[in-house]
Amino acid sequence: MSYINRGVPGIDQYLPLNEPDIGAAYSKETHPQNAELPELFKPIIIRGVKFNNRIFVSPMCQYSSDDGHATDWHFVHIGGYATRGAGGICMEATAVVPEGRISPQDAGLWTDSQIAPLKRIVTFAHAHGTKIGVQLAHAGRKASTIAPWVRTTTARTTTAPKYTADKEDGGWPDEVYGPSDIPFSEQFPQPKALTEEQIEVLLDAFAKAAERCKEIGFDFIELHGAHGYLLHEFVSPLSNVRTDQYGGSLENRLRFPLQVVERVRGVWDKPLFVRISAADWAEGPEQDPSTGEWKQWGIEQSKVYVGELKKLGVDLIDCSSGGNWVQQKFTLGPGYQVPYAEALKKAHPDLPIGAVGMITEPEQAESYLREGKADVVFLARELLRNPHWPIIAAEKLGAAIKPANQYERAFIQVILPARQ
């Protein structure tokens, strides 16, 4: 019998083969404690793609790209999650056109030269059995801004007097576009309203970016329809005051985002997710009770929106909120955005829903899935603090989950079979 340290087949370097995949549960035959797996560690199959567990890495901007190209920072950052047990990784907001970036250092997928560095990352993730996707995006009126730590360092040692990245900062303040010419705030660029011809160009750009995703080998695409960026700007009456076919009624405000989905779905046959902001968090009601006029974006319109997305073949809704109203008011707390996911799940029980928002504890995350409020959880800052969160969560919830071969010695209690 051979005892060779086997490598992953079909790649151009030696990487130890993990069996089962990192983040997957051991069989109940070898590990009786897995006879009843926690919901977090039950696989989920979406459009034929199997995710080993239901812990997903949220897209998190790194402001570290070189003219839209991924760098070694991204390889190490994303590669770390690929080796630490997440069921799925969604790479950061990746602009489909240069002027759609949030900052000059944001990721992009508008040209073929951006394919190779992303393909390297995807190949590494796949070598470790991890599914990986990308969030295609356009920042809209919130484009051409400086990176957050340039604007204000967390230690408060430096604070810039502006948000806008001017030309000398590498920005494009005169080429910022939104549905209407309403700036996000006085500190942000003054946007121009997109013409219908420019909208057609953007629809092509989203489709071409999706074609590049096929060549890269991503397992899923997420479209960024949240946080006050372009798709969110179109659906909200606070940022969209157009009088043509793209503004006014709810049907018209949904038109451009739905066209984007339709164009991407037309070239992409793998799982397609959409991240939405389910509410604007502005003052006052979502709808005027006397006139029926929609005053701001909220959960009732979101339910309609999700229904239309489902008709077009969207496979999962990544439910967030806020980001489109500079004076937004909300109360932070554990799971503060989960009620929106729960409302969408009740309205569309047959559609997978992802929950976000200060999800930090394994028991907390497990409860949302067990109670039917969501089907997966997307974690961001907690994974920045603790990339090994999935394996630690398994230990707390009593499941035996595969760590990377190289890290097994740190997680003996997680992988030992329970005593018979």
Q: For residue 334, is it within any domain?
A: yes
CA-based end-to-end distance of the chain: 28
At residue 419, the pLDDT reads: 66
- List the domain range (segments joined by +) for residue 366: 39-400
Residue among 26, 229, 305, 368 flagged as catalytic:
229
Strand 49-51 and strand 44-46: the pairing is: antiparallel
**Local mean pLDDT, 10-residue blocks, the chain (420 residues):** 90 96 97 97 98 98 98 98 98 98 98 98 98 98 96 78 94 98 96 98 98 98 98 98 98 98 98 98 96 97 98 98 94 95 98 98 98 98 98 97 97 84
At residue 277, the pLDDT reads: 98
At residue 262, the pLDDT reads: 98
Q: For residue 22, is it within any domain?
A: no
- The total domain count for the chain is 1
At residue 68, the pLDDT reads: 98
Closest C-alpha among 262, 272, 266, 193 to residue 230? 193
- CA pair distance 36, 63, nearest whole angstrom: 41
At residue 420, the pLDDT reads: 54
At residue 215, the pLDDT reads: 98
Q: Can 229 be counted among the known catalytic residues?
A: yes
Amino acid identity, position 143 = A
Q: For residue 45, is it within any domain?
A: yes
Q: For residue 17, is it within any domain?
A: no
Q: For residue 34, is it within any domain?
A: no
Q: For residue 365, is it within any domain?
A: yes
Q: For position 75, which CATH number holds?
A: 3.20.20.70
- CA pair distance 33, 55, nearest whole angstrom: 20
At residue 135, the pLDDT reads: 99
Q: For residue 142, is it within any domain?
A: yes
